Each structure stands twice: as C-alpha cells, then as structure tokens.
Structure 1
C-alpha cells in the first residue's frame, strides 16, 4: 500500500510545537484559569420561519463557532456543521443558534478541514435534504465510506459550479488530524461563494499568512466570515490561529466590504475567551478608525440579510 499524501501550508509553515510545548501550555493554563461564565449572547429573536421558507433573499445566519447557514440564489448552504453538545474532551459553552430540526433542506455543505470542531458526522447525518458535500482534498474518503455519494473534493483554487453559484477552495494556514495516524492526510482551507450579485469568503480556520494577499489578487470579496478566537498563548497558537488584530489586518488586505467574526465563544480551545476576542476586535477596529458599519458582529442565531 502506497503511503498517504501529506498536505502542507504555503512556504511549508508549521507550528513545530512539541509534546514539551503542549505540556508547558497546559501547565500555564492551570495556573491562569479563565472565567468561562461570560458567554456570547443568543439573538433575542430569531427568524427561523423566514429562513425556512426563504428561496429568494440572500442571508447569512451565525449558528455558532464556524457554522453558518448561508442562503444565496435560492440555495441553502451550511459551513462546518457542528451541533454537538461536546467535543471529545470539552463541553460546548453556547447552544447552537438554530435547532437542527428547524433548518430548511440543505443543498450544499462546505467543510474547511477535518478537525472535530469543524466536522461532526453525527450532525451531518441529521441534516435535511440531499446536499452536495464540498470538502478538502483527501477528506472525501471519510464521507464516501459513510455512504455519501455527492462528494466533491477540492485542491487549493479548484472551482466548482452548483446551479448559478461558484465555489472555490482557497488556502488557509492550519493543519488537521482526526485519528492517531491521519495527520495532514487531508487538506484545509476556506471557501469563496460567488454569485452575480455577491461574494462570501468563509475563511475557515487559519493563522495570519501571505495567502490573504494572494486571494485578494484573484477575487473580489464582499463579505468575509473571519475567525478571531483560539489565539492564546500566542507562542503556541500563532501559526495556526489568527488573533483579532491580525484578523483586521487580513480583512483590510482582502479589501472586503463586511467583516463578520466567527470561531469564538463556543469551545474553550485555547486560553482566550469569546468576550475577550470581541473586546480586542473592537479595540483594533476603533484604533484604526475603521467604518463601524463594516463590522457586523452577529449574536448567536442572528441573521444578516445581504
């Protein structure tokens, strides 16, 4: 049997963290516990009925973490669908913004990479509809052996058409692993969804990297769904997770019109908390005197109508 392909980042960038580094981080975490009682708020009212029936308007609804319901051109799309109440070793801190059974039928599922907080097959089994699964190269086999047939694998900058939408898989700086032996045997990245009227860039999970400038040179981007959490301690997380200040830097390099933050508040993945991430994002936005209307901080379950 030939060895499985192992994927790498641009410039072969890697965190290089060792077991010693991991133990050092865990020791630091125990000495400096964070208050997890403050969490990101749920939207006071949710538009589930309107979303369920919608086939004409474009919308983005934050379910929580990296999960969004995106509606464009009459299609219902889900990014990194995770409704799990816990990951293998941690409990979810915030409930998903919309119940799974309140979703409309899904036409497309977009997966950024295989980490458990981004890919939950128990959730996928419960999605309504018969979606097409757009996944990174190397991850298709995990879907196909579970019986899913409408699976499309993408290498970086591969584009695919579904009805009148174009889906392009673009680089991110990260890594992936689901078992003891499959480290980086599938790829990671973000997805750009383009219609004639609008473009949405789901960044996925990433550190800050030169790829943002490269992506900006190739695409016109309207709405950026940008991660801002899981960045502390900086010495351990910097390569793989972007902090709020660098997220703003990346947004400016992308020349986007609207910044919607994600990947914060749902799980205690690192030493930062959701409220801390938002506080730093606001501080950087104000420091650079950026247009307040371009920053759209959604509550969990809140819908942004495009």
Structure 2
C-alpha cells in the first residue's frame, strides 16, 4: 500500500532542493557568527512548586520548543527534547528543568517528527503514564516504540480531556526522521483551552495565511511563537518564520501575549539567539506594540497565568 504524503495548504511552499542545500552550506562557510551570547537562565527554578501544583495555571519554558503547561490539574509537555546535542552540534544552553525534576506528565503534545521536536531518549524517561497526542501518520512510530497511549490528530481535530479542549491546527512545515519517510506524517500546532484561557503552541512554521484562520477560530490569550532558525531566509522562509514574520503571525492570530520560543538551544540555521531577539525587539518597537504584550521568558522561568496581567 502506498503511504500517505502530507502537504501544506500552500502547495508552492515545498521542500528545498538538494542544490539549494548545497548553496546554503557553501554560504555558511563564509559567515562569521558570534555565539558567545546565551539566553538568560533563571537563578532558581520552581520545581518543588511545579511538582505539587494542581490548581495554578502555569507555563514553564524548559528551552527550545519544550514547555511544561499546567492547566486544570493536568501536566502537559510540548515537544519534549532534553538532548545534549543534535547531530554534531552541542546544545547551547541547558534545559531549564531536568527530566527528574518534572512532575508526572499527563499529556504530551508533538508538533512534528523532526529530531529537535521529537526525542525518543527524552520521552522514554518521562515520569507518569502520559497520553501522546501526535500528528496523523506518526502514531505507528509511537506504538512501535511501546507507547500504546497515543492519539493521532488531523488538522482541526479536537479532543476533550479533564475539562480541556485540545486541538491540532495547521502549520506550514514538513516532516522527516529517516531517508524514506519524508512527509509521511503531518505537522502542526496545538491549541489548549480551559474555561478561562486559550494557549496556542505554534510548533514550527513558515509564515502563511493559516495564522489568521487559527485566530478566527480561537480567542487566544498566550501565543508560543518560534523566532529562530530563519537564516538564510531565501532557504528557510517557507519552513521557519523570521522574527518579523513571527510578529506578523502573532498579530494575525489576535493573541493577547506572545512568548518567543525555538531559539537559544540548538544551532539549526545561521542566525544566532542574539540576532533573533534583537530583530524581534526592533520590529516590536517599529510597530509600536505594547510592551506588556511581549513576554520574553528566561530558560526555566515559570509564568503563573492566573496572576500574569493581559
């Protein structure tokens, strides 16, 4: 049986060619980048509180695209990756919480199959007996690895759990873990709703009109939006938003607060964490957006959503 191949809504936003990849690698050799800046890390994490907490809604940035989100007494993890390196590149900053300091996990949300978003060595070490919510086409991989509590989602699918509505929403990206499985599973973001707030985890995406569609369907309070891995833009733009496009996407979703992510942990492209943040802040000022609508988190920082003013 021929395997399903998934596509973006914009069919022209396809994969780069091998020629494009060679050109990027050639350009990369000529660039001199300052990697001395490290994303700030909190002096003291709140692991004791997080382990006991069942009532206060929180968002904790572990690093890259990994967040611990606590809602309605449930512990939710997005794209859990504690890997010390990706390929030959070492992690630039340590995770904000160690796996052993996490509370038992109830739900894991996976945006897509790339190694910086899906780490087998990480998910097999999680406490608890989580249910894995994954893009359609990825369920078999989880079941082969022994994770029987797995639910596949297609775009716009919604499930109810513990008083939450969890929805899988579109993104513009792609998927691949081996030489033969390109786009055999889908990709996307996640929306988590309780009675009082809505959190949108965008996963990985280039800029596309789908951000406006997501904002039309959900009244979003917290938007976890990627800002890194965008250079060179001629190569990366279809799959990763630049900081400027991240702000444009945030505005499209009509979210109340933007929390930047997907920078500072791994060197996936030619931009640096400092460049991503500098461009983000410059564009924020240029557009005269309210400072309280941007929450730049430290690694390991916890936001208590019930007390964070929006």
TM over 0.5: yes
TM-score class normalised by the smaller sequence: over 0.9
- Does the residue aligned with 2:152 lie in a helix, a strand or coil? strand
Residue aligning to 1:296: 295
Residue aligning to 1:160: 159
Pairwise CA distance, 1:301: 0.3
**Is 1:31 aligned to 2:16, yes or no?**
no
Range that drifts further, 12-21 or 76-85 = 12-21
Pairwise CA distance, 1:70: 0.3
**Is 1:239 aligned to 2:266, yes or no?**
no
**Is 1:228 aligned to 2:262, yes or no?**
no
Q: Which runs of 4+ in 1 moved over 3 A?
A: none
Q: Quick one: distance in 1 between partners of 2:18 and 2:202? A: 28
Residue aligning to 2:41: 42
What are the ranges of 5 or more consecutive residues in structure 1 without an aligned counterpart?
Answer: none
Q: Quick one: distance in 2 between partners of 1:102 and 1:34? A: 34
TM-score normalised by L of structure 1: 0.98
Q: Quick one: distance in 2 between partners of 1:157 and 1:230? A: 26
What are the ranges of 5 or more consecutive residues in structure 2 without an aligned counterpart?
Answer: 306-310
Q: Quick one: distance in 2 between partners of 1:107 and 1:16? A: 34
Residue aligning to 1:114: 113
TM-score normalised by L of structure 2: 0.97
1:82-133 per-position Cα deviation (integer Å, ceiling 9, x unaligned): 0010112321111000011000000000000000000001100100000110
Residue aligning to 2:169: 170
Q: Quick one: distance in 2 between partners of 1:11 and 1:298? A: 32
Residue aligning to 2:253: 254
Q: Quick one: distance in 1 between partners of 2:249 and 2:57? A: 25
Q: Quick one: distance in 1 between partners of 2:71 and 2:148? A: 24
With over 3 angstroms needed to count, the CA separation of the structure-2 counterparts of 1:119 and 1:16, relative to structure 1, is closer
CA RMSD of aligned residues (A): 0.8
Residue aligning to 2:308: none
Whether the 8 Å CA contact 1:15–1:236 is kept in 2: the answer is: no
With over 3 angstroms needed to count, the CA separation of the structure-2 counterparts of 1:41 and 1:212, relative to structure 1, is same
- Does the residue aligned with 2:132 lie in a helix, a strand or coil? strand
Aligned residues: 305
1:41-83 per-position Cα deviation (integer Å, ceiling 9, x unaligned): 1112211111111000000000000000000111000000000
Residue aligning to 1:211: 210
